[in-house]
Chain A
Amino acid sequence: MNLFDIMGPVMVGPSSSHTAGAVRIGRVSRQLLGERVEEAEIFFHGSFALTGAGHGTDKAIIAGLLDMETYDIRIPQSMEIAKNEGMIFTISAIDLKNAHPNTVLMYLKGKSRELEIQASSLGGGRISIDSIDGIQTSFSAEYPTLIVHNEDKAGHVAQITSMLADKNINIATINLYRNKRGGYAVMVAETDDPIPFEIIKELEKAEGIIKATYLN
């Protein structure tokens, strides 16, 4: 653990897993959607459902969807802020199979994009993105992360990695996920260095790429 995970983080309480982790999940989801969240259907599973109201997990997740950081003092008022900004949301409990006790499933809608995301809060504010648009994934969103949705065809991975190599960006981890052969695939690449905006733009235009998002 890094030194400032021990002395820190600075966060709105009461719980690093149920509050700070939930803010991070909301914020990463907002970034993955790539635009302002207009509608959110939110389902809490396990401990999130049982103790979420007392831990402010509900306020925390909405705060994250509004792009707030874990130390934003407006987190307790996030629901009022969301309503004032015209965000429509519902929060309810769900029982998911084989999910971590602190899991949330969300259906998000923006002006032009939609996202289904399932994520869990692992403790100490660390999170895991467990599925995107129904495809199982597993990443922490702690590194610069490139997420590419593409048609499951030969050559896409090589194309993307060579684009990154051209810009001298070192890939820390790379994972591929797909629903079925020849169907829809998601590639998640965590890099040591930030990825320039033009690469994302270039990728989005490439043939067979459905969408590309970037977290930093």
Chain B
Amino acid sequence: MAFESIKELMALHNKTGKEVWQLIMEEDAHDRNTTPENSFEKMGAMWTAMKASSDNYDPSLRSSAGLSGGDGERIRQYKKKCISGEFMGEVIAEAISMAESNACMRCVVAAPTAGSCGVIPAVLIPYVRKHNTPEDKIIKGLFTSAGFGQIIAKRAFIAGASGGCQAEIGSASAMAAAMLVYLQGGSAEQSASALAFALKSLLGLVCDPVAGLVEVPCVKRNVIGAVNAITSADMALAGIETMIPPDEVIDAMREVGLAMPSSLRETGLGGLAATPTGVNIAKNMPRLGSYN
């Protein structure tokens, strides 16, 4: 049932000489009592669904609460002027579009959660477009990402209600960073370092959604998750090593999450949700039964 630690995964990788994605795929096949081929096919279906969500983005949609929609297209139109360059413009656009699609009740791939569904596709889709990455390599990248995410879920948490936004966007960012290192041809240890950098940089991020909805600030937090994944991957690929081992970083995320007051864990009672504007928005939300 999944790996207990990144240390354990690295040790197995060094002992068997098998790539990390393969170890993760084999573990999944064992766990779900199926074949590695079936596991690979299933991950392929996740990639297909991710691409379909991206292709089906509709800039004219608005969420039921009216707080989200259309901004993905706004940044897409602007991307050539981006201070951080056109590639980063595409990353920002993809992150917002995907998170807006989620808020507007479109189909997405929760990765690891619905609220953080924009992070992984935001780095993956523009990357694949730029590098013409073959499909099987993309799927292997997703295994790498999911396997590291599974360890985070096992040692800490991935739900905002449990550990704040660091557990959702932070985990998604860490998963995306590890995946990017793999796609760029980095080592397993570099993937683990990238994960640590990404998680460390988002440690303490609270979950404070306005009116309790997965919209403000969640949609735009997908952007910081994606951008942070790229800078973390680059640091690891440049040979920078994490001072705190990745497992200890994950454990620290858990400690921080447990120390967070419940008002900052998806209750819609603290942080941005508790600002005068946030409170006012919550007051004017659509109510149940208004359609009857």
| Cross-chain contact B214 with A13 (CB below 8 angstroms) | yes
Tell me whether A98 is interfacial, beta carbon within 8 Å. Answer: no
- Chain B residues with Cβ below 8 Å from A125 are 110
Interface residues of B in 249-292 (CB under 8 A from A): 268, 285-292
Can you name the residue of chain B whose Cβ is closest to the Cβ of A70? B107
| Cross-chain contact B149 with A14 (CB below 8 angstroms) | no
| Cross-chain contact B103 with A8 (CB below 8 angstroms) | no
- Over the window 1-14 of chain A, the binary record of Cβ atoms lying under 8 Å from chain B Cβ atoms (1 yes, 0 no) is 11111111111111
A123, B159: Cα distance in complex, Å: 8
- Chain A residues with Cβ below 8 Å from B109 are 7-11
Can you name the residue of chain A whose Cβ is closest to the Cβ of B142? A7
| Cross-chain contact A13 with B104 (CB below 8 angstroms) | yes
| Cross-chain contact A13 with B117 (CB below 8 angstroms) | yes
| Cross-chain contact B102 with A91 (CB below 8 angstroms) | no
Tell me whether B36 is interfacial, beta carbon within 8 Å. Answer: no
Tell me whether A75 is interfacial, beta carbon within 8 Å. Answer: yes
Interface residues of A in 41-98 (CB under 8 A from B): 44, 47, 49-56, 58-59, 71, 73, 75-76, 79, 90-93
Q: Which of A15-23, A109-117, A171-179 contacts B (4 or more CB under 8 A)?
A: A15-23
| Cross-chain contact B105 with A53 (CB below 8 angstroms) | no
Can you name the residue of chain A whose Cβ is closest to the Cβ of B285? A54
Q: How large is the interface on B (under 10, 10 to 19, 20 to 34, 35 or more residues)?
A: 35 or more
- Chain B residues with Cβ below 8 Å from A15 are 114-115, 214
| Cross-chain contact A13 with B212 (CB below 8 angstroms) | no
- Chain B residues with Cβ below 8 Å from A17 are 161
Tell me whether A194 is interfacial, beta carbon within 8 Å. Answer: no
In whole Å, how far is B98's beta carbon from the nearest beta carbon of chain A? Answer: 10
A13, B145: Cα distance in complex, Å: 21
A49, B224: Cα distance in complex, Å: 31
Tell me whether A124 is interfacial, beta carbon within 8 Å. Answer: yes
A3, B32: Cα distance in complex, Å: 9
In whole Å, how far is A128's beta carbon from the nearest beta carbon of chain B? Answer: 15
| Cross-chain contact B142 with A124 (CB below 8 angstroms) | no
In whole Å, how far is A206's beta carbon from the nearest beta carbon of chain B? Answer: 32
- Pull 18 A–B residue pairs with CB atoms less than 8 Å apart, ordered by A: A1-B154, A2-B32, A4-B42, A4-B46, A5-B153, A6-B112, A7-B145, A8-B110, A11-B110, A13-B104, A14-B63, A14-B213, A51-B213, A51-B285, A58-B288, A76-B105, A91-B288, A93-B289
Shortest beta-carbon contacts, A-B, top 7: A13-B102, A7-B146, A51-B212, A3-B28, A14-B214, A6-B149, A54-B65
Chain B contacts to A: CB under 8 angstroms? 2, 24, 27-28, 31-32, 39, 42-43, 45-46, 49, 63-65, 101-115, 117, 142-143, 145-147, 149-150, 153-154, 158-159, 161-162, 175, 211-215, 268, 285-292
| 11 other A-B residue contacts (CB within 8 Å) besides A12-B106, A51-B268, A53-B288 | A1-B150, A3-B31, A10-B49, A13-B103, A13-B104, A13-B107, A54-B64, A73-B106, A73-B107, A93-B288, A123-B162
